[in-house]
Protein backbone atom coordinates (compact mmCIF):
# COMPACT_ATOMS: atom_id res chain seq x y z
CA UNK A 1 0.00 0.00 0.00
CA UNK A 2 1.15 3.51 -0.71
CA UNK A 3 -0.28 7.01 -0.37
CA UNK A 4 -2.58 5.81 2.42
CA UNK A 5 -3.29 7.36 5.80
CA UNK A 6 -5.01 6.10 8.94
CA UNK A 7 -5.73 2.48 8.03
CA UNK A 8 -6.26 -0.51 10.34
CA UNK A 9 -5.80 -4.08 9.15
CA UNK A 10 -7.08 -6.59 11.70
CA UNK A 11 -7.40 -10.38 11.82
CA UNK A 12 -6.08 -11.65 8.50
CA UNK A 13 -4.96 -15.19 7.64
CA UNK A 14 -3.08 -15.86 4.41
CA UNK A 15 -1.55 -19.07 3.13
CA UNK A 16 -0.04 -18.57 -0.33
CA UNK A 17 0.87 -21.48 -2.63
CA UNK A 18 2.68 -21.90 -5.91
CA UNK A 19 3.50 -24.86 -8.08
CA UNK A 20 6.34 -23.04 -9.82
CA UNK A 21 9.42 -25.25 -9.63
CA UNK A 22 12.61 -23.98 -8.05
CA UNK A 23 11.36 -21.13 -5.88
CA UNK A 24 10.88 -22.98 -2.60
CA UNK A 25 7.11 -22.81 -3.02
CA UNK A 26 6.82 -19.31 -1.51
CA UNK A 27 5.22 -16.45 -3.40
CA UNK A 28 4.06 -12.88 -2.83
CA UNK A 29 4.03 -10.49 0.11
CA UNK A 30 1.40 -10.33 2.85
CA UNK A 31 1.41 -6.59 3.57
CA UNK A 32 3.88 -4.04 2.19
CA UNK A 33 4.18 -0.34 2.95
CA UNK A 34 5.33 1.93 0.11
CA UNK A 35 5.83 5.71 -0.26
CA UNK A 36 3.26 7.92 1.41
CA UNK A 37 2.08 5.36 3.98
CA UNK A 38 1.27 7.04 7.31
CA UNK A 39 -0.67 5.88 10.35
CA UNK A 40 -1.26 2.17 9.70
CA UNK A 41 -2.02 -0.38 12.40
CA UNK A 42 -1.71 -4.07 11.54
CA UNK A 43 -2.69 -6.66 14.14
CA UNK A 44 -3.53 -10.35 14.39
CA UNK A 45 -2.05 -11.48 11.07
CA UNK A 46 -0.99 -15.01 10.14
CA UNK A 47 1.08 -15.11 6.98
CA UNK A 48 2.41 -18.35 5.50
CA UNK A 49 4.35 -19.39 2.38
CA UNK A 50 5.31 -15.88 1.26
CA UNK A 51 8.55 -14.17 0.25
CA UNK A 52 7.90 -11.35 2.72
CA UNK A 53 5.47 -10.95 5.61
CA UNK A 54 4.67 -7.42 6.84
CA UNK A 55 7.44 -5.16 5.53
CA UNK A 56 8.46 -1.72 4.31
CA UNK A 57 9.06 -2.08 0.55
CA UNK A 58 9.60 1.39 -0.91
CA UNK A 59 9.67 1.50 -4.70
CA UNK A 60 7.53 -1.56 -5.31
CA UNK A 61 4.92 0.23 -7.42
CA UNK A 62 6.08 0.20 -11.02
CA UNK A 63 4.99 3.20 -13.15
CA UNK A 64 3.65 1.06 -15.99
CA UNK A 65 1.51 -1.03 -13.63
CA UNK A 66 -0.18 1.73 -11.63
CA UNK A 67 -0.03 5.49 -11.03
CA UNK A 68 3.17 6.82 -9.47
CA UNK A 69 2.98 7.37 -5.73
CA UNK A 70 3.23 11.01 -4.70
CA UNK A 71 3.98 10.59 -0.98
CA UNK A 72 7.40 10.56 0.62
CA UNK A 73 8.56 8.13 3.26
CA UNK A 74 6.86 5.57 5.47
CA UNK A 75 5.87 6.61 8.97
CA UNK A 76 3.77 5.76 12.00
CA UNK A 77 3.33 2.03 11.40
CA UNK A 78 2.52 -0.38 14.23
CA UNK A 79 2.42 -4.14 13.63
CA UNK A 80 1.45 -6.51 16.45
CA UNK A 81 0.65 -10.19 16.86
CA UNK A 82 2.15 -11.37 13.56
CA UNK A 83 2.74 -15.08 12.95
CA UNK A 84 4.97 -15.80 9.95
CA UNK A 85 6.23 -18.79 7.96
CA UNK A 86 8.08 -18.14 4.68
CA UNK A 87 11.27 -16.33 3.58
CA UNK A 88 11.42 -13.09 5.69
CA UNK A 89 8.75 -11.93 8.13
CA UNK A 90 9.58 -8.28 8.86
CA UNK A 91 11.96 -5.46 8.01
CA UNK A 92 12.63 -3.40 4.94
CA UNK A 93 13.72 -4.09 1.40
CA UNK A 94 13.91 -2.43 -2.01
CA UNK A 95 15.02 0.95 -3.27
CA UNK A 96 14.91 2.91 -0.03
CA UNK A 97 17.55 5.57 -0.58
CA UNK A 98 15.23 8.54 -1.13
CA UNK A 99 12.63 7.99 1.58
CA UNK A 100 12.85 8.51 5.36
CA UNK A 101 11.34 5.77 7.52
CA UNK A 102 10.11 6.89 10.94
CA UNK A 103 8.13 5.40 13.83
CA UNK A 104 7.81 1.84 12.56
CA UNK A 105 7.37 -0.94 15.15
CA UNK A 106 6.94 -4.69 14.89
CA UNK A 107 5.83 -6.00 18.31
CA UNK A 108 4.83 -9.55 19.22
CA UNK A 109 6.10 -11.47 16.20
CA UNK A 110 6.30 -15.27 16.03
CA UNK A 111 8.52 -16.73 13.32
CA UNK A 112 7.62 -20.36 12.64
CA UNK A 113 10.00 -20.72 9.69
CA UNK A 114 12.25 -18.39 7.68
CA UNK A 115 14.12 -15.21 8.53
CA UNK A 116 12.83 -12.93 11.26
CA UNK A 117 13.98 -9.62 9.78
CA UNK A 118 15.63 -8.37 6.62
CA UNK A 119 17.36 -5.02 6.17
CA UNK A 120 18.15 -4.82 2.46
CA UNK A 121 18.25 -1.31 1.03
CA UNK A 122 19.55 -2.65 -2.29
CA UNK A 123 17.17 -5.46 -3.21
CA UNK A 124 15.63 -3.77 -6.24
CA UNK A 125 18.99 -2.62 -7.53
CA UNK A 126 20.56 -6.01 -6.98
CA UNK A 127 17.75 -7.80 -8.81
CA UNK A 128 17.10 -5.30 -11.59
CA UNK A 129 20.09 -2.99 -12.09
CA UNK A 130 23.04 -5.01 -10.90
CA UNK A 131 25.76 -2.48 -11.77
CA UNK A 132 24.51 -0.25 -8.93
CA UNK A 133 24.54 -2.95 -6.27
CA UNK A 134 28.05 -2.40 -4.86
CA UNK A 135 27.54 1.36 -4.68
CA UNK A 136 24.21 0.93 -2.92
CA UNK A 137 25.64 -1.51 -0.39
CA UNK A 138 28.27 0.93 0.82
CA UNK A 139 26.94 4.45 0.62
CA UNK A 140 23.76 5.44 -1.14
CA UNK A 141 21.38 5.89 1.79
CA UNK A 142 21.13 9.51 2.90
CA UNK A 143 17.67 9.53 4.51
CA UNK A 144 17.15 8.75 8.21
CA UNK A 145 15.69 5.76 9.96
CA UNK A 146 14.17 7.11 13.16
CA UNK A 147 12.48 5.05 15.86
CA UNK A 148 12.43 1.70 14.02
CA UNK A 149 11.74 -1.05 16.57
CA UNK A 150 11.70 -4.85 16.51
CA UNK A 151 10.14 -5.95 19.84
CA UNK A 152 9.17 -9.23 21.44
CA UNK A 153 10.16 -11.64 18.68
CA UNK A 154 10.02 -15.38 19.39
CA UNK A 155 10.26 -18.61 17.47
CA UNK A 156 12.87 -19.59 14.85
CA UNK A 157 14.98 -16.45 15.11
CA UNK A 158 18.65 -17.23 15.22
CA UNK A 159 20.92 -14.60 16.76
CA UNK A 160 19.69 -11.08 17.41
CA UNK A 161 21.03 -8.67 14.77
CA UNK A 162 24.09 -6.70 15.84
CA UNK A 163 24.19 -2.91 16.28
CA UNK A 164 24.33 -1.17 12.91
CA UNK A 165 22.20 -3.84 11.23
CA UNK A 166 20.43 -2.45 8.15
CA UNK A 167 22.27 0.88 8.23
CA UNK A 168 24.28 2.48 5.43
CA UNK A 169 27.70 4.07 5.83
CA UNK A 170 26.53 7.60 4.93
CA UNK A 171 23.06 7.49 6.47
CA UNK A 172 22.09 10.71 8.28
CA UNK A 173 20.51 8.78 11.19
CA UNK A 174 19.99 5.09 11.77
CA UNK A 175 17.94 4.47 14.90
CA UNK A 176 17.06 0.75 14.79
CA UNK A 177 16.63 -1.30 17.97
CA UNK A 178 15.93 -4.93 18.76
CA UNK A 179 14.56 -5.93 22.18
CA UNK A 180 12.86 -9.01 23.61
CA UNK A 181 14.53 -11.41 21.12
CA UNK A 182 13.64 -14.93 22.35
CA UNK A 183 14.57 -17.87 20.09
CA UNK A 184 12.16 -20.64 21.13
CA UNK A 185 12.27 -22.91 18.05
CA UNK A 186 15.68 -24.44 17.19
- Residue 21 pLDDT: 64
Helices (H), the chain: 123-128, 133-139
75 is in which domain, residue-wise? 5-183
Query: How many CA atoms, within 13 angstroms, populate the side-chain half-sphere of residue 121?
Result: 27
User: Rounded to an integer, what distance in angstroms lies between the CA atom of residue 173 and that of residue 103?
Assistant: 13
Sign of the C-alpha dihedral, residues 128, 101, 3, 87?
Answer: positive
The pTM of the full predicted model, rounded to 2 decimals, is 0.85
Domain count, the chain: 1
Which of 9, 31, 156, 26 lies closest to 91, judged by CA?
31
Residues (pLDDT < 50) of the chain are 64-65, 125-134, 138-139
User: Rounded to an integer, what distance in angstroms lies between the CA atom of residue 186 and that of residue 183?
Assistant: 7
Sign of the C-alpha dihedral, residues 60, 68, 74, 146?
Answer: positive
Dump pLDDT digits (tens) for 99-140. 788 999 999 999 999 999 988 776 654 444 444 444 555 445
User: Rounded to an integer, what distance in angstroms lies between the CA atom of residue 84 and that of residue 132?
Assistant: 31
Domain at 173, CATH number: 2.160.20.10
Amino acid sequence: MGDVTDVTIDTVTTDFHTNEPGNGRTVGVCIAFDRGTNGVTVRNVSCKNTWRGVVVMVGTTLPYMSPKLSGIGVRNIYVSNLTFEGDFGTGFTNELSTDPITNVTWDGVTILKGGAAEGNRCYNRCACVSRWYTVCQSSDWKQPFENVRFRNFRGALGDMPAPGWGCAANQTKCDIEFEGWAPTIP
